[in-house]
Chains A and B, each alone.
Chain A
Amino acid sequence: MEYLVQQLINGIQLGTVYALIALGYTMVYGIIRLINFAHADIFMIGVYTALFTATAYRIPFPLVILISMAVCAVLGVTIEKLAYKPLRHKPKLSALITALGVSLFLENFCALPFVFGPDPRSFPELIPIKAYTWERYNLTVTNIFLINLLVVAVLLLGLFYMVHYTMIGKKMRAVSYDKITTSQMGINVDRIISFTFLVGTALAGASGVLYGLTYASAQSPYMGIWPGWKAFIAAVIGGIGNIPGAVVGSYLMGISEVYATSVSSDLGFGIAFAILILVLIVRPTGLLGKKTYEKV
């Protein structure tokens, strides 16, 4: 029993990593129907930003998160302005291919020896790890895990509040619902789209810091690829475009990946894809996704 609970804790930990990345995918998709493949690489930049600032300056953890979020947000908005905005009224495929191009550029540019280099680096210990063991049940949680949960909870509540109870959130929902009508209401659609990128990529930056904190290393500039794919699948499972769906999908993925691995460690990696296929067969729009009709 305690074994299953310990694995549940491990699963929640993994789901937390996926959740913040998945939110960025889902928000951007929700508003401009674009799968922003560069998102995972912005997450990678978030890890490296935190790594370099924390190595160079001894600054407290909350400040590292803010710096990393700011850098990623600026990068995200810049990419949107330079690469995606000129293609807004072109076929969707053009923007998708451009997203892939931006992703490849970020990975390979950062892998150059004079940028980040391709070698693994160690992440500075921002917070000394403490493990709390509940001897009676042989359960262990670390303070890092608790900090992860706390940061994600704060960010999720903030995001929820912003989307549902502020004017800019209302505008975001309106743009997502119908761009043309919204622009006729006098809302600057371009600005709302930029703002969505800003929020989504800032979350990826925060996620990068939590990742570095949890796994204590940055493997290489290609490190975003797999967390990115898993988070993207999580967003699709939850219903892409749906914010609570991305969170539900992420935890579902994290927990089932861990349980599958505990049954047979050869299975773990593939389980994400198996769940994706199952969910899409039963609910083609994802768990919380709404049915949409193609307007003709």
Chain B
Amino acid sequence: MGERWSLMKKFLIGVVVFLLVISSPTFVAAQKAKEIRIGGIFPMTGGSATFGKSSKEGMQIAVDEFNNKGGIAIAGSKLLIKAIYDDTAGQPLQAVNVCRKQIDQDRVVAIVGEVMSKNSLAIAPICQSKGIVMISPASTNPQVTQKGDYIFRVCFLDSFQGIVMARYVYDNLKLKKAAILYDNANDYNKGLASFFAEEFKRLGGQIVSSEAFTDEEKTVDFKAQLTTIKANKPEFLYLPNYYAASALITKQARELGLNVPAGGGDGWDSPRLAEIGGKDVEGGVFSNHFSKDDPSPKVQGFVKKYRGKYNSDPDALASLAYDAAFILLSAIEKAGSLKGADIRDALKTMKFDGVTGKISFDQNRNPVKSAVILQIKNGKQQYIVTVSP
């Protein structure tokens, strides 16, 4: 025993590891590259599990579409696409691990992911340093694409949502006096509130009252703020908060006799909004990435395919992941190469008519695209209009 045994052990472990490596599919794939490997990094377990599930399903439809027409031609031969999905559990550390695994072990040529901004921010520097294109379907934080020129996204930024709502209220609803009530403990809410206010004032409107509360997880009584708002006589109430707080605020506003139209951002996109708010949120308008009721053939075609495959309706995240994967595969097709730099250059020049709108990229690799305005009618979301930048 002792030293000799431990030497023996080390040798045996070495042999086992060697055998595992040469027999693993990764090693084999790296030898012949008969397929195009695309990574999908999403939160598929944990608190945001529905985001991950939708994203994976949406992405797979885009991959299937390319495979059904025979794959993508690279250097004269058609290659099929294989999507490799990994779960981040919504944790940045886990995201970093699976990103390294996909690049070093699976040899993916590009990555679709992550959904949550904090995770995208964690993996973007890795993709950038390895020269792998990363395209995020749904991370709205402005910093994500600032990590480098290999990092793209297909969703609009929060600034754009605020601007779209301001224009819709001012131009379409013809309301000139707005009040805002937002959560000052959350960057998403604060961002939307300030971008809305800025644009609304630029257009010539007036923000008659801008009130805040602290943390929508902790606050349920908004009557003090709403009484102040009511005294300033607004014509529109902008509530850039998540659905539960937005529904409560609208209810309490109605109780106080503040009966002006209300609206918000994509945080309103939940069936719970109408469940909690009931008749009080009727007529509420909000900006979103996508509506399954949008009559455009592109959207309806996607909804039909999605229903056929998964037997449910696609949400905004599924649509964004579909668009992200589709535009990425189109760029690979256009480049005719699997080199990161070639894919990146092709992607920069792409113009793409997607499910979530017409997409092209600005110099910061953020999309220039449209948003939809939805309205709550009879407890359901109804498509109103598509607003282009």
A binding-site residues for B, Cβ under 8 Å: 3, 6-7, 10-11, 13-14, 17, 118-122, 125, 129, 131, 133, 140, 142, 144, 215-217, 219-220, 222-223, 225-226, 257-259, 261-262, 265-266, 268-269
* Cα–Cα, bound, A262→B226 (Å): 9
Apart from the given pairs A219-B220, A226-B218, 15 other A-B contacts in the complex at a CB distance below 8 Å: A10-B221, A10-B227, A13-B223, A14-B223, A129-B255, A131-B255, A140-B255, A215-B220, A215-B248, A216-B248, A217-B276, A219-B244, A225-B218, A258-B223, A269-B215
* Cα–Cα, bound, A223→B245 (Å): 13
B225 adjacent to A265 (CB under 8 Å): yes
| Among B212, B272, B278, contact of A265 (Cβ-Cβ < 8 Å) | B212
B272 adjacent to A122 (CB under 8 Å): yes
| Among A219, A220, A265, A269, contact of B211 (Cβ-Cβ < 8 Å) | A265
B binding-site residues for A, Cβ under 8 Å: 47, 184, 211-215, 217-221, 223-225, 227-228, 231, 244, 247-248, 251, 254-257, 272, 275-276, 278
With A119-B272, A265-B213, A266-B184 already in contact, the answer to whether A140 and B225 are too (CB < 8 A) is no
- Ordered by A's residue number, 25 sampled pairs between the chains whose C-beta atoms are within 8 Å are A3-B227, A6-B227, A6-B256, A7-B227, A10-B221, A10-B227, A13-B223, A17-B221, A119-B272, A121-B276, A125-B278, A131-B256, A131-B257, A215-B248, A216-B248, A219-B244, A222-B217, A223-B220, A225-B218, A261-B228, A262-B225, A265-B225, A266-B184, A268-B214, A269-B213
With A7-B227, A262-B224 already in contact, the answer to whether A268 and B213 are too (CB < 8 A) is yes
* Closest residue on chain B to residue A223 by CB atoms: B220
A6 CB contacts on chain B under 8 angstroms: 227, 256
Chain B proximity of A120: nearest CB distance (Å): 4
* Cα–Cα, bound, A11→B225 (Å): 12
The residue among A11, A217, A226, A258 with the most chain B CB atoms within 10 A of its own CB is: A217
| Among B224, B244, B247, contact of A10 (Cβ-Cβ < 8 Å) | B224
Chain A proximity of B118: nearest CB distance (Å): 20
B272 adjacent to A120 (CB under 8 Å): yes
Chain A proximity of B208: nearest CB distance (Å): 14
* Closest residue on chain A to residue B247 by CB atoms: A217
Chain A proximity of B37: nearest CB distance (Å): 35
Chain B proximity of A146: nearest CB distance (Å): 12
Chain A proximity of B26: nearest CB distance (Å): 36
A120 adjacent to B276 (CB under 8 Å): yes
Chain B proximity of A16: nearest CB distance (Å): 11
Chain A proximity of B230: nearest CB distance (Å): 8
A269 adjacent to B217 (CB under 8 Å): no
B218 CB contacts on chain A under 8 angstroms: 225-226, 269
